[in-house]
Amino acid sequence: MERLSTRGRVLRVAAVVVFGALTLAGTFRGDDTLFPFAPFRMFSTADKPNEPVLALHTDGIDTTGRRIELDERNAGVRRAEIEAQIERFKADPSLLHSVRESYAARNPGKPPLVEVDIVEVRHHLRHARPTGDVTEVVLARYRP
């Protein structure tokens, strides 16, 4: 048996107490900025059962007129990140030029984008089940 010294035990217990307290404080009082002690809040908001589900997607239109859905793979954009900063994009659509450049960097040789749109798709619900009705709204549009 390989035993720990008293010092080794005390240090480890102290670390558990400190990191445990920070984690609990983050969960009960903190916000996302406290990562890694942020609340464990993925999927934690309660969506209303009779209000539409909103889903954003980022689209690009290239010089040939083709509409491409932009994602992590082809443009390095995550939907959740766009959603988290949507108010900034609405206020200043020119921020989307970075998405256009990121697409160009990842797709050398492909036609460049002449437009980047953030589109909100609304799926209507009744009693937490989709009714089948879907509407789309452009929230931010950037044309270089």
21 binds other proteins (CB under 8 A): no
The Cα 26–Cα 33 span in angstroms is 10
The Cα 53–Cα 50 span in angstroms is 9
Name residue, tokens 């920070």: 22
Q: Are 15 and 3 in contact (CB under 8 A)?
A: no
107 binds other proteins (CB under 8 A): no
119 binds other proteins (CB under 8 A): no
80 binds other proteins (CB under 8 A): yes
55 binds other proteins (CB under 8 A): yes
Residue number with CB closer to other proteins (49 or 67): 49
Taking the complex as a whole, the smallest distance from the CB of residue 62 to other proteins amounts, in Å, to 18
DSSP 99-141: HHHHHHHHSTTSPPEEEEEEEEEEEEEETTEEEEEEEEEEEEE
112 binds other proteins (CB under 8 A): no
The amino acid sitting at 139 is L
81 binds other proteins (CB under 8 A): yes
137 binds other proteins (CB under 8 A): no
Residue number with CB closer to other proteins (23 or 62): 23
The Cα 53–Cα 30 span in angstroms is 27
DSSP 3: P
Q: Which residues bind other proteins (CB under 8 A)?
A: 1-5, 7-9, 12-13, 16, 19-20, 23-24, 27-28, 32-36, 38-49, 51, 53, 55, 72-73, 75-81, 83-85, 95, 98, 101-102, 105-106, 123, 125, 127-130
